[in-house]
Amino acid sequence: MMKLKVLCPAQIFVEEEVTKVTAQAENGSFCLLPRHVDFVAALAPGLLSFELAETADEVFLAVDGGILVKYGKNVLVSTRNVVRSNDLEQLKQTVKEQFQMLDEHEKKERTALARLESNFIQQFMELEEAHAL
């Protein structure tokens, strides 16, 4: 048995006793079992799954990249964004909706930043003109 802990910037997202962890690194997917050698990997954005020790249910997480560290019977995962589900189809829909919201927020932020830059340049030019007189 292993203790899986998934950390996000604001919270401990998962803290479970598990028998298996499967994840995706930049160079492919891998599986960790309790007697696996200590291990560190940079995770690619994608799926991370684990099998619960008590029920043997498989749980899926969509992670936005991150770092995985296995030491002894502990597996720590640190990621920026994560979504949990027992159903892959539901997870796919949830991730799609969240990415759509993130895209909309990013577009609004880019528009606001472009306005700030434009106003700064305009005020700078006006200041230069006034100083030249």
> What pLDDT score was predicted for residue 22?
95
> What pLDDT score was predicted for residue 130?
78
Distance CA 65, CA 81 (A): 8
Distance CA 36, CA 71 (A): 9
> What pLDDT score was predicted for residue 83?
85
Residues 6+ apart with CB under 8 A from 10: none
Q: Are β-strands 66-71 and 39-43 bridged in parallel, bridged antiparallel, or unpaired?
A: antiparallel
pTM: 0.70
Between 105 and 38, residue with greater pLDDT? 38
**How many CB atoms neighbour CB 30 within 10 A?**
14
Residues 6+ apart with CB under 8 A from 31: 20, 21, 22
Instruction: Specify the DSSP element, H or E, that contains 89.
Output: helix 88-132
- Mean of the per-residue pLDDT values of the chain: 86
| Phi-psi group of 60: left, alpha or beta (phi > 0 → left; psi -120 to 50 → alpha; rest → beta) | beta
Give mean pLDDT, residues 40-68.
Answer: 92
Note whether 2 and 75 are within 8 A (CB): yes
Give tens-digit pLDDT for 63-121: 888 999 999 999 999 998 888 877 777 777 777 677 666 666 666 777 777 778 887 78
Note whether 83 and 98 are within 8 A (CB): yes
Q: For the domain with range 2-86, which CATH number is right: 1.20.1630.10, 3.40.50.300, 2.60.15.10, 3.40.50.150?
A: 2.60.15.10
